[in-house]
Amino acid sequence: MKSARGKPFRKTSLKSERDIRYLPFPVASISTILLVAVFLSFLSALYTGAHRTIHQHSNIRPKGSGPSIQSFQDLALSEIHPRAGPHRHIVSPPPDESPVTLVTCSTTAGYLHILVHESWAPLGAQRFLQMVESKYFSTKVALMRCIKNFLCQFGIAGDPSYNEPYIGKNNILKDDTNWLPEGPTHRKNELGVKRFGKGYLAYAGSGKNSRSNQLIISLNDNERLGGGSPWEVPWGEIVGGESFSTLDKIFTGYGEKGPSQGRLRREGSSDGVRKDFPNLDYILHCDVIESI
């Protein structure tokens, strides 16, 4: 067979390295191309597997992406409507014939997810929700009196002007009926469940019909709280592992020696308070998520 110029084609034989160097597609280049193709195939398989895993677990939120509870769908029915059990609730709380509201509070220690049960303590629950809806907690409310393994007291507004609707004789709440068993013989039941559960929320007070804008949350199961002081009737509790983890992180080192109530009423969460109590934790804001 002849070429276009009339000369016969030569058969190519590879007899030496010099012959290899003059091939149209060098052997080294072909090897590189094959390696790149294998590598790209591996990356494609890896991406496909990762994409499938992400799709299957799309409901899992990465750490730091926001609160872990974003609706009632993230809670078990036993959390929404709790009953007495072997580890929590000395007695069954009142049945939820009134709305239950999910509130999430962002604090400097983390998120607190609170279920507000109006059937437990209607007046106390409604006042707390009023405070939330008025953006009261967005004033940066100090967790001012936190005693290790006991309770944390808070509620004085970071902006003193926000206190006005909740203090004074005409703004004091009447007591709700206590649903916890009272007296020293009911500090815990036969299963060892203590009266006031960890994460219960109630008001601070100083006598009959004395509730205003100061609240307490129990840092541990407690057998004395709620045993007769009329202001200590629980109106809600925290739910979810994230909330209990946050509760354990709240700074308790100041104990009874945190900023005084008088100073907070005058100054709020001032620069001076932050300077004198640098480790103090605060509620940054609270939001109503939904009600059922």
Q: Span 116-127, mean pLDDT?
A: 98
pLDDT at 25: 45
Confidence of residue 26 (pLDDT cuts 50, 70, 90): low
pLDDT at 35: 63
- pLDDT tens digit sequence for 260-292: 999 999 999 999 999 999 999 999 999 999 999
Q: φ and ψ at 90, to 5 degrees?
A: -60, -35
pLDDT digits (tens, 9 = 90+) for 34-91: 565 656 665 555 544 443 333 333 233 334 569 999 999 999 999 999 999 999 999 9
Is residue 2 very low, low, confident or very high in pLDDT (cuts 50, 70, 90)? very low
Per-residue pLDDT band at 33 (split at 50, 70, 90): low
* 111: pLDDT strictly greater than 60: yes
Residue 261 burial by Cβ neighbours in a 10 Å radius (0-12, 13-18, 19+): middle
Confidence band of 10 (pLDDT split at 50, 70, 90): very low
Reported confidence tier of residue 183, pLDDT bands at 50, 70, 90:
very high
pLDDT-above-70 percentage for the chain = 78
- Tell me the average pLDDT across 98-120: 98
Whether pLDDT at 5 is above 70? no
Our measurement of the distance from residue 16's CA atom to the centroid of its chain's CA atoms, rounded to an integer in Å, reads 73
Query: Residue 3: its pLDDT value, please?
Result: 46
Q: Across the chain, what does the average pLDDT equal?
A: 86
- CA–CA separation, 152 and 142 (whole Å): 10
C-alpha span between 235 and 123 (Å, rounded): 9
Tell me the pTM: 0.78
Give Cβ neighbours of residue 48 (< 8 Å, ≥ 6 apart): none
